[in-house]
């Protein structure tokens, strides 16, 4: 006997939802582990505090490169000339990547924030002295900043959006699969309801 249309329809949706569910879970698995772990470290930040390690470096920029720096009258903020940026990258062992610089009468200042740390450099216009400082707060701070998308750039921001969509698909297909199986699992909706009511009660009673 051929299965009835309702059975065929149910079978089709079960196969489709299972396929979307496992694909979205595979795509979001590593991200879920990362974001869950950093959720714990962020929520218990006092337990994971560490003293930052600081590195300073010095160099002297050649006069020909100093002369290429834009005067403050022409631009208060902009990019460094490519030749100056390349020289700084090589001398200091860094990657400026076209970060904006602030131009004043006395110095040029470049802020170089990054996940889990911070950095900056300044160039004295008169002497050419370059001072660079980099501070790192460790791997946990680095992963926490990835969680928040802090100073991570556009590409990581795209990843977070794609990851969020994968998690939504994972959650919604899971909910639909629960619905399809709920007739044979009487505890399905009480458990789903508990997952909604429990955090709501905590917020009402203990959030202030």
User: How remote is the C-alpha of 128 from its chain's centroid?
Assistant: 35
Residues linked to residue 53 through DSSP beta bridges, in sequence order: 136
Question: Does residue 202 sit in the same domain as residue 99?
Answer: no
pTM (predicted TM-score): 0.80
> Can you give 83-124 as a three-state secondary structure string?
HHHHHHHHHHCCCCCCCEEEECCCEEEEECCECCEEEEEEEE
pLDDT (tens digit per residue) in 51-101:
889 999 999 999 999 999 988 766 678 899 999 999 999 999 999 998 999
Of the candidates 118, 24, 19, 130, the one whose C-alpha atom is nearest the C-alpha of residue 69 is 130
Range of the domain at 175: 5-48+140-206
What is the predicted pLDDT for the residue at 93? 93
Query: What are the 10-residue block averages of pLDDT along the chain, 208 residues in total?
Result: 71 86 90 93 89 94 93 78 95 93 93 95 96 95 94 92 92 89 85 89 84
Question: Does residue 130 sit in the same domain as residue 59?
Answer: yes
Question: Does residue 64 sit in the same domain as residue 115?
Answer: yes
User: How remote is the C-alpha of 115 from its chain's centroid?
Assistant: 8
Domain boundary among 137, 157, 178: 137
Domain boundary among 100, 122, 137: 137
Using alpha carbons, list the distances in angstroms from residue 142 to 2, 73, 76, 94, 98.
Answer: 58, 38, 31, 18, 22
Domain boundary among 137, 162, 181: 137
Of the candidates 175, 179, 191, the one whose C-alpha atom is nearest the C-alpha of residue 20 is 175
Could you give the number of structural domains in the chain? 2
Continuous segment of H or E residues that includes residue 160: helix 153-181
Question: Does residue 60 sit in the same domain as residue 42?
Answer: no
If 0-12 CB within 10 Å is exposed, 13-18 middle and 19+ buried, where does residue 152 land? middle
Question: Does residue 40 sit in the same domain as residue 73?
Answer: no
């Amino acid at each position: 006997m051929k299965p009835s249309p309702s059975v065929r329809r149910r079978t089709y949706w079960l196969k489709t939802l299972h396929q979307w569910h496992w694909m979205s879970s595979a795509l979001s698995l590593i991200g879920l582990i990362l974001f869950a772990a950093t959720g714990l470290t962020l929520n218990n930040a006092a337990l994971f505090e560490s003293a930052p390690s600081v590195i300073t470096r010095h160099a002297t920029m050649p006069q020909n490169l100093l002369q290429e720096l834009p005067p403050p009258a022409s631009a208060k903020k902009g990019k460094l000339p490519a030749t100056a940026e390349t020289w700084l990258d090589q001398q200091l062992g860094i990657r400026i990547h076209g970060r904006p610089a602030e131009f004043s009468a006395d110095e040029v200042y470049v802020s170089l924030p990054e996940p889990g740390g911070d950095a900056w450099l300044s160039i004295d216009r008169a002497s050419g002295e370059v001072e660079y400082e980099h501070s790192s707060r460790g791997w946990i701070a680095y992963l926490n900043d990835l969680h928040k998308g802090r100073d991570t750039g556009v590409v990581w921001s795209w990843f977070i959006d794609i990851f969020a969509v994968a998690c939504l698909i994972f959650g919604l297909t899971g909910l639909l699969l629960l619905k399809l199986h709920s007739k044979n699992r009487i505890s399905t909706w009480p458990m789903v309801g508990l997952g909604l009511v429990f955090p709501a009660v905590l917020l009402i009673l203990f959030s202030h």
